Structure 1
C-alpha cells in the first residue's frame, strides 16, 4: 500500500509541473513532468506485479 501512496504523491507533483509547462511554457517543468511520468510508469508496474503475486498466492 505504501507504493500506491507514493504513486499518488508523484501524480500530484506531476500535475503541478504539467500546469506550469502547458500554461506558462516553462521548459524546466516539462523536464520534471517527463521524469515524474517515467516514475509513475515504474511504480505502476511494480504495483501490478505485487498485486499479481498476492492474487496468485491466495489460490
Structure 2
C-alpha cells in the first residue's frame, strides 16, 4: 500500500507542471512531466509485480 501512496503523491507533483505545459506552453515543464510519467510507469510496474506475487502465493 505504501507504493500506491507514492503513486498518488507523484501524480499530485506532476499536476502543476502539466498545467504549465498544456496551458502556458512551457517546454521545460513538458520535460518534467515526461520524467514524472516515466517514474510513474516504473512504480506501476513494481506494484503490478507485487500484486501478482501476492496473488500467486495464496
What TM-score range do you get, normalising by the shorter chain? over 0.9
Residue 27 of structure 1 deviates from its aligned partner by: 1.1
SS at match of 2:21: helix
Match of 1:34 in 2: 34
Shift >4 Å, 4+ stretches: none
1:57 aligns with 2:57: yes
Which runs of 5 or more residues in structure 1 are unaligned? none
Aligned residues: 58
Deviations 1:4-52 (A, max 9, x none): 1111111111121111100011111111000000001000000000000
Structure 2 unmatched runs, 5+:
none
Q: Report the aligned-residue RMSD.
A: 0.7
1:1-59 map, 5 Å = 1-58=1-58
User: In 1, Cα distance between the equivalents of 2:5 and 2:12?
Assistant: 11
Could you state the TM-score of these two structures normalised by the residue count of structure 2?
0.94
